[in-house]
Structures are given as C-alpha cells and as structure tokens.
C-alpha cells in the first residue's frame, strides 16, 4: 500500500498504531530514566522475561487467552521478579546486574517449564501463548490506545506528583532515610510503574525490544541536560518521537501484501539512532564537543608554552 | 556406541553448567552478569548472515561462526560506548544488543519470512534432542562441542587464576604489576561469547544465561573466598542438572526450564541462609558477645 502523510489522520488503523506506539514511547522513555540512573537499565528485559510464568499461570487459571487476564498475570509475576531483585540488592552484597540476571533467568525458565507442561496437556487454546511475547503493533486498536492513555497518564501523574521524593531517594537514599521517608517504597514505586510500562509494551514491541524503549531515550536525554526534571521530560519526548516515527516508517515501507517491516524493530532502531546522535552531537557532553574542547585546550597550552619561551 | 539417553542429557547439562560457570564467576564479580543474555540475543543477525553467506543451507557451522562474531561485536561495541564515559556499562549493553537484535528481526522478516529461521530454531535449542546427534568418536555432538569449550575455559581459568583474580579485584594493581587487565578481560569475554554460542546450540539460550550467573551468585552468597566459590558453583550446577532432570521427567515439562527453576530454588535457599546468618551475627553484636 502506498501512504501519504494525510492517511495518518484519516485512517483508523494507522492512527491507532502510530498513536499507540508514541504513547508507549512517552511512558517508557520517562520511566526508563529511573532504571538507567540506578544502574538497573536491563530491568525492562528482566520484567518482560519474568512475565512468562505469570502469563502461563493466568492461562491455567482462566483457561482462556483473554488479553487482559494474561497481562495482569504477567504483570504480577514481573512485579514479583522485580521486587525479588530489589530484595536481593537489599539483603546481599550482590550487584544490580546479578540481582536482575538471577531473577529473570530463573523466572523465564520456570515459565518455559509451565509452557511445555501446558503444551503436553493437549489444551488447544494454548497455541500462540508464546506469540504474546513477541509483540505485534499491527494488532493495536483504538481501545488499546485509550487504555494506554489512561494507564500512561496514571504513571506519569505519579512521577510528576512524587518528583521530589523520587529524586532524593534516587540520588541520596541515606539522606531520605534519615529524613524519615519510606525509601523502600519510594524505590519500589517507580519499579512498579516500569513493570506497568513493560506490560503495555509487550503487546506492541515484544520482550527483547522493550529493554531498548526504556534505555535509549533516557541515554539520549541525559546528553542534553543535567537536571532530573529536564531529563524525564526530554526522555519522554524522545520516546514518543521514536515510537511514532518508528511505527510510521514501518508502515510506510511495508510492501503491499508482504509481511512488512516489524514495527517494534523499526521503533527500537529509531530510538537507538536518536541515542547515538545524542552521544555524538550534544553540546557539552557530546563526544565531538569533547574532542573539540580537548583540541582547543591543547592549542592554548602549546600557545602558552611558545609564549613563555620567547 | 550408544549411551543411555538419561546419561547423555544429564551429562550435557552438567558440561554446559561447568563450561559456563568457569568464566561466569568472573562475569558476576565484574558486574557483567547480563552479558550472556545480551550475546544470546545479539547473535541473531550473525546467524542470519551466516545463513545467507552459506547459500541458505541450515548448516550449523556458519550459524555458529556468525553468532560468535556478532557476540564479539556486542562485547566490543558496548565496551567502546562505556569507555566513552557518557554511559554506564549496563546502559551501554542495553543500547547495543536490542539494536542488533532488531536488525536481525528486520533481516529475517525481509528475506526469510517463509523459512524456518526463527528464534525457536536457534535460541531455544532443545536438550532432549542431544542424544540423537552424534559427533566425534561416537560421542554425543553436544559433549564434544561444549566439553571442548569447557576444557579451554578450564585451562584459561586454571592457568591464569592469579592474574584473573587480581585484575578482577584490583585492576589498578594488576596494571602496575605489568600485565594488562584489558587484554585479560578481552580474552575472558571472547571465551564467554564462544561458550554461550557453543552451549546454546545444545541447550538453548535460557539455560546458558542461567548457568552463567545463578550458580556463581548462589556460591558468592555462601562464601567470600574465590576458590571456595568456584567449587560451590560447580557443585550447584551439577546438583541442579540432576535434580532438574528428575523434576522435568516427573512433570513432563521442559528439562531446560526445570533445571533453571531448580537453580533459582537453590539461590533462594542460599539467600535465606545468608539473611538468617546475618541476623544472628547482628544479634550477637548487640548482646556484646
């Protein structure tokens, strides 16, 4: 199919996909800042994998492939895994990467065991259960978009309302504890919101690519600003831009009748490109600006030395 | 020579466990535990490229070579980004591997939409099939490949034990003493990439990632000595392989999944033991004894 820009405003399906992906990018980009700053960048990957046993359990309990039930089940086991990871950090000397790695690999393993056990039981309705993990933006409907908007507003509203509390418990947890704030809760809350974002994204971009939707916008935003507030807002904008642009590009370049470009993958590559450009080009923290600064400093030093010799 | 199926399967699991634990313990200590996960996903474009270059035959060797190369690319690119100082290691890894994976997904959907070249075929290698593939000397192919990789890892860790230990805990001192921690770390990561690829062909990515991290993490909860930790981690991998196989048979579930589940259970027990001990020690300190 050939597309003109006007189609995005008139075509119901296109609008749902582009709007839905942009909303997802906005929420994921904003929340990703917390995990990147806490050295828990891969928590999205962890939650997305850890959702599998919950999805299987929800299927076993309800006996249907009803999307909402599976999402709730997956969300609960993703939340359990991320809280377990936080508990490991609290009660042992193990580092962030180990805490995340241990929880996601064992949860995912248990999920695989459950999935195969369900498969052996000969229940036909289980077919395609794992397809849930790979994401399909093309399946987004206006109803999904509305759901994204409500849940996203809830998540972003929480971040806006508790901005100060989150900021202090993120950068100086000891001070926050001394002030009598519930640091454990203030750490777990952004994590829980991230779980929410991941579960929203699972349907659109899939398990692996969800990791990138949390990380890349945050990395890009960090290059342009020093404050947390600015970083959160900018990461949201970058995320929305990658989501909308990625979805539009994948639709625009899909050949008629062909399988087309997978939206999740194009979205992730768009976000990665934004991050790489920001790493290179940003004023101040950019690599090129750093090189130029180094060269100027060297020239000044050589000039000074030459002046002294005369 | 035909070996009993049980022996081949459990033997493969144990070999994978040991081959992964040797470098895995150092990854866990160096905050690089998630490298295995990243490599296993980033391998996709390499597999596609190997498939394409070999003219579309589903041969194992080109796929393995391609996967190893993209694994090394992941390691190299994320180290490069992290070294720029703008991005922490975990975020650098999180930028690189989804991008490579996305490129692989696009390549698959553009060129091989109707070929069975999906993740199931590569990442979820099935350990239950290992008895049917025979390699060198009539031994199971997985034993030859993974066992060989394990032997290389054992020689590396055994031969450079002191150097690895020092450069893990005090890279500054290691540099001062005249051996390059960066070279050593590069060799270690290369071995990890090769081990991950060799092992996921046999047992699938899930179990490889679990074996790289979980036994070592469990061991480090129980001891602070490196040598003891290595022995404990090898033991944890052995017991999880045997127990997991028994559980899988009982539940008629995936062996891979069950072994990973048992690994998780062992970890939780160790964490509980450690928390209990810490509480007792604190209690004693309060009583002033």
Nearest CA in chain B to A90: B275
What local confidence, expressed as pLDDT, does residue A224 receive? 92
Give the position of tokens 């699938």.
B204
d(CA B97, CA B94): 6
Q: Please say if the pLDDT value at position B265 is more than 80.
A: yes
d(CA A266, CA A250): 6
- Count CB-CB contacts under 10 A for residue B40: 27
Q: How far is B136 from chain A (nearest CA, A)?
A: 31
Q: Give CA angle at A75 (A73, A81), nearest 5°.
A: 105
> Options 3.30.300.30, 2.40.10.120, 3.60.21.10, 1.10.3470.10; which CATH number does B5-203 get?
1.10.3470.10
Q: For chain A, how many residues are written? A: 310
**Chain segment A198-253, per-residue pLDDT in tens:** 888 877 777 777 888 999 999 999 999 988 889 999 999 999 999 999 888 888 87
Q: Following CA atoms A30, A32, A34, A35 in sequence, which dihedral angle do they give, to the nearest 10 degrees?
A: 170
Q: Please say if the pLDDT value at position A124 is more than 50.
A: no
pLDDT band per the 50, 70, 90 thresholds, residue B60? low
Secondary structure class of A211 (helix, strand, coil): helix
What local confidence, expressed as pLDDT, does residue A255 receive? 57
Angstrom distances, CA of residue A206 to CA of A47, A194, A201: 12, 15, 7
Lowest mean pLDDT among A102-116, B17-31, B194-208: B194-208
CB contacts, 8 Å: A262 with chain B = 105-106, 109
pLDDT band per the 50, 70, 90 thresholds, residue B59? low
Q: Which of B56-60, B133-137, B238-242 has the highest mean pLDDT?
A: B238-242
Secondary structure class of B140 (helix, strand, coil): strand
Q: How far is A286 from chain B (nearest CA, A)?
A: 8
**Chain segment B250-260, per-residue pLDDT in tens:** 888 888 888 99
Give the position of tokens 């466990």.
B17
Burial of B31 (0-12, 13-18, 19+ CB in 10 A): middle
Residue A96 contacts B, CB cutoff 8 Å: yes
What local confidence, expressed as pLDDT, does residue A239 receive? 94
CB contacts, 8 Å: B254 with chain A = 112-113, 115-117
Q: Please say if the pLDDT value at position A65 is more than 70.
A: no
Secondary structure class of B4 (helix, strand, coil): coil
The predicted complex's ipTM stands at 0.85
Question: Mean pLDDT over residues A43-48, rounded?
Answer: 84
Burial of A137 (0-12, 13-18, 19+ CB in 10 A): buried
What local confidence, expressed as pLDDT, does residue A257 receive? 46
pLDDT band per the 50, 70, 90 thresholds, residue B264? very high
Q: Please say if the pLDDT value at position A171 is more than 60.
A: yes
Q: Where are the domains of chain B?
A: 5-203
Chain-chain contact of A120 with B253 (C-beta, under 8 angstroms): yes
Secondary structure class of A5 (helix, strand, coil): coil
Intra-chain end-to-end CA distance of chain B, in Å: 63
Chain-chain contact of B217 with A101 (C-beta, under 8 angstroms): yes
Question: Mean pLDDT over residues B58-84, rounded?
Answer: 82
Nearest CA in chain A to B266: A106
What local confidence, expressed as pLDDT, does residue B117 receive? 47
What local confidence, expressed as pLDDT, does residue A5 receive? 58
Q: Which of A33-37, B146-150, B175-179 has the highest mean pLDDT?
A: A33-37
Question: Mean pLDDT over residues B30-58, rounded?
Answer: 79
Indicate the residue of A112, A219, A285 with minimum beta-carbon distance to B254.
Answer: A112
> Kind and range of the H or E element at A111?
helix A96-120
Question: Mean pLDDT over residues B142-161, rounded?
Answer: 84
**Chain segment B79-136, per-residue pLDDT in tens:** 889 888 888 888 898 899 889 988 888 887 777 655 544 444 455 556 666 666 666 6
Q: Please say if the pLDDT value at position A291 is more than 60.
A: yes
What local confidence, expressed as pLDDT, does residue A121 receive? 61
Of residues A83 and B278, more confidently modeled: A83
Q: Please say if the pLDDT value at position A137 is more than 80.
A: no
pLDDT band per the 50, 70, 90 thresholds, residue A274? very high
Q: How far is A243 from chain B (nearest CA, A)?
A: 14
Domains of chain A, start order: 5-309 (1.10.3470.10)
Q: Please say if the pLDDT value at position A1 is more than 50.
A: no
Nearest CA in chain B to A88: B271
Question: Mean pLDDT over residues A96-125, rounded?
Answer: 80
Q: Please say if the pLDDT value at position A131 is more than 60.
A: no
CB contacts, 8 Å: B210 with chain A = 105-106, 109
Report percent pLDDT > 70 for chain A: 86
CB contacts, 8 Å: B80 with chain A = none
Q: How far is B109 from chain A (nearest CA, A)?
A: 7
Q: In 3D, which of B34, B87, B79 has the Cα closest to residue B196?
A: B34
Residue A202 contacts B, CB cutoff 8 Å: no
CB contacts, 8 Å: B31 with chain A = 95-98
């Amino acid at each position: 199919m050939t597309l003109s820009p006007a189609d995005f405003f008139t075509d119901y399906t296109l609008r749902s996909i582009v709007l839905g992906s942009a909303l997802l990018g906005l929420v994921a980009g904003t929340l990703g800042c917390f995990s990147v700053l806490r050295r828990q960048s891969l928590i999205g990957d962890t939650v997305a994998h850890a959702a599998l046993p919950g999805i299987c359990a929800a299927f076993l309990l309800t006996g249907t492939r009803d999307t909402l039930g599976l999402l709730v089940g997956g969300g609960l086991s993703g939340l359990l895994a991320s809280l377990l990871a936080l508990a490991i950090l609290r009660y042992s000397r193990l580092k962030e990467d180990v805490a995340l790695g241990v929880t996601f690999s064992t949860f995912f393993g248990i999920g695989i065991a459950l999935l195969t056990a369900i498969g052996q039981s000969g229940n036909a309705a289980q077919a395609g259960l794992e397809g849930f993990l790979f994401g399909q933006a093309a399946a987004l409907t206006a109803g999904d978009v509305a759901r994204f908007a409500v849940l996203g507003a809830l998540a972003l509203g929480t971040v806006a309302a508790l901005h100060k509390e989150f900021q202090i418990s993120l950068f100086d947890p000891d001070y926050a504890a001394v002030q009598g704030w519930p640091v454990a809760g203030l750490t777990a809350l952004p994590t829980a919101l991230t779980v929410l974002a991941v579960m929203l994204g699972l349907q659109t971009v899939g398990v692996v690519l969800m990791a990138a939707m949390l990380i890349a916008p945050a990395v890009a935003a960090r290059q342009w600003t020093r404050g947390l507030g600015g970083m959160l807002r900018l990461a949201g904008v970058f995320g929305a831009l990658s989501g909308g642009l990625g979805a539009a590009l994948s639709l625009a370049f899909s050949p008629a009748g062909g399988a087309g470009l997978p939206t999740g993958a194009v979205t992730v590559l768009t976000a990665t490109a934004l991050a790489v450009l920001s790493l290179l080009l940003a004023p101040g923290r950019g690599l090129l600006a750093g090189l130029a600064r180094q060269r100027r400093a060297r020239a000044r030093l050589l000039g000074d030395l030459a002046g002294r010799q005369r | 020579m035909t070996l009993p199926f049980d022996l081949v399967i459990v033997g493969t699991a144990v070999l994978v466990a040991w081959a992964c634990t040797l470098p895995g313990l150092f990854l866990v200590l160096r905050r690089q535990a998630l490298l295995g996960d990243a490599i296993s996903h980033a391998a996709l474009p390499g597999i596609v490229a190997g498939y394409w270059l070999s003219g579309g035959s589903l041969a194992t060797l080109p796929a393995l070579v391609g996967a190893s190369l993209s694994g090394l690319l992941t390691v190299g690119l994320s180290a490069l980004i992290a070294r720029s100082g703008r991005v922490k290691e975990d975020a650098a890894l999180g930028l690189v591997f989804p991008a490579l994976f996305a490129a692989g997904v696009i390549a698959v959907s553009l060129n091989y939409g109707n070929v069975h070249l999906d993740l199931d075929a590569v990442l979820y290698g099935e350990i239950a099939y290992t008895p049917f593939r025979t390699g060198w000397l009539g031994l199971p192919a997985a034993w030859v490949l993974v066992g060989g990789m394990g032997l290389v890892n054992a020689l590396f860790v055994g031969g450079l034990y002191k150097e690895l230990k020092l450069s893990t805990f005090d890279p500054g001192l290691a540099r001062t003493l005249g051996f390059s921690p960066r070279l050593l770390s590069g060799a270690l990561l290369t071995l990890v990439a090769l081990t991950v690829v060799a092992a996921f062909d046999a047992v699938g990515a899930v179990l490889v990632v679990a074996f790289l991290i979980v036994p070592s993490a469990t061991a480090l909860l129980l001891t602070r000595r490196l040598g003891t930790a290595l022995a404990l981690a090898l033991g944890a991998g052995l017991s999880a392989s045997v127990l997991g196989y028994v559980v899988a048979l009982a539940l008629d579930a995936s062996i891979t999944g069950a072994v990973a589940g048992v690994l998780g259970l062992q970890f939780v027990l160790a964490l509980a033991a450690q928390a209990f001990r810490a509480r007792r020690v604190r209690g004693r300190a309060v009583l002033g004894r």
